[in-house]
Amino acid sequence: MTPSGSSHVRIARPSRDLAAAERFWVDGLGLSVLYRDEAGGPGEHDLVMVGWPDAAWHLELVDGAQLTVAPTPNPEDLFVLYLDGPVDDDLVDRLERAGGTRVSAGPYWDRWGVTVADPDGYRLVLSTRGWSNA
Q: Which residue ranges form the domains of the chain, and what is each CATH number?
A: 9-63 (3.10.180.10), 78-127 (3.30.720)
Q: Greater confidence, 84 or 5?
A: 84
- pLDDT at residue 4, as a whole number: 84
Strand ranges across the sheet with 113-117: 78-82, 123-127, 113-117, 101-103
Q: Is the pLDDT of residue 133 over 70?
A: no
pLDDT tens figures, 11-23:
999 999 999 999 9
Strand ranges across the sheet with 32-37: 9-14, 57-63, 46-51, 32-37
Q: Greater confidence, 38 or 27?
A: 27
- pLDDT at residue 134, as a whole number: 33
User: What is the pTM assigned to this prediction?
Assistant: 0.91
pLDDT tens figures, 103-127:
999 999 999 999 999 999 999 999 9
- pLDDT at residue 58, as a whole number: 96
Mean pLDDT (whole number) for 63-90 = 89
